[in-house]
Amino acid sequence: MLGVGRADAERVCQSVGLDWAEDATNADLSRFRAGLRHRVLPEVREMRPSGAARAAEAAAQLREVGDLVEGLGRALLAEAARVERGFCWDRGVLERTHPAVVSAGLRLGFAALHGGRFADRLRARSVRSVVDAIGCGSATAAERTNRETKRFVWKDTEVTVTPREVTLRSIGDE
């Protein structure tokens, strides 16, 4: 809705029979979002009237990139071997894969192990720690052989990074 003004949004709702509702927090300037909307954005609009349209275009492009990365992550998850209560990848495959795709594959695997629940609780920093331990795009076979095994725990899921493989496994009672 970045590229749609309030009046247009109200007309869209009216045209499909929806009542317009105003969230009371929109007027509370102590809230960051409301402060931005009422104090900062008017100044930005004055400086760059096309800013909202350009932001909407950028958001659409980011959604497309996000969809692409998620699709590649799904393909990476589909390539994983199924193991008891989890998934296993050849570490060399993950090392040669872009870190964003590996992150997506790990997140999707985590979500699959939990029936789609808890994915919103998986912090980017936690996923990044595993991706860094894997060494996406950075390790040679000799470097992999000399590495220690590393373990990470996400909620009731363990991620194990060995010199040869990466395993994502549920360790909970589910």
Residue 146 has a pLDDT of 58
Q: Which amino acid is at 99?
A: P
In this model, does residue 1 exceed pLDDT 70? no
pLDDT, tens digit, for every residue of 22-64? 888 888 989 998 888 888 888 888 998 888 788 889 989 999 9
In this model, does residue 148 exceed pLDDT 60? yes
- Residue 8 phi, psi dihedral angles, 5° rounding: -65, -40
Query: Helix 99-113 vs helix 124-134: angle between axes, to the nearest 10 degrees?
Result: 120
Q: Which amino acid is at 37?
A: R
Structure tokens at 28: 């509370």
Structure tokens at 27: 């007027």
pTM (2 d.p.): 0.75
Residue 149 has a pLDDT of 92
Half-sphere exposure of 125 (CA within 13 A, CB side): 0
d(Cα 129, Cα 121) in Å, to the nearest integer? 15
Task: Kindly give the residue spans of alpha helices, DSSP state H, lying in the chain.
Answer: 6-15, 32-35, 41-47, 51-79, 91-95, 99-113, 124-134, 141-145
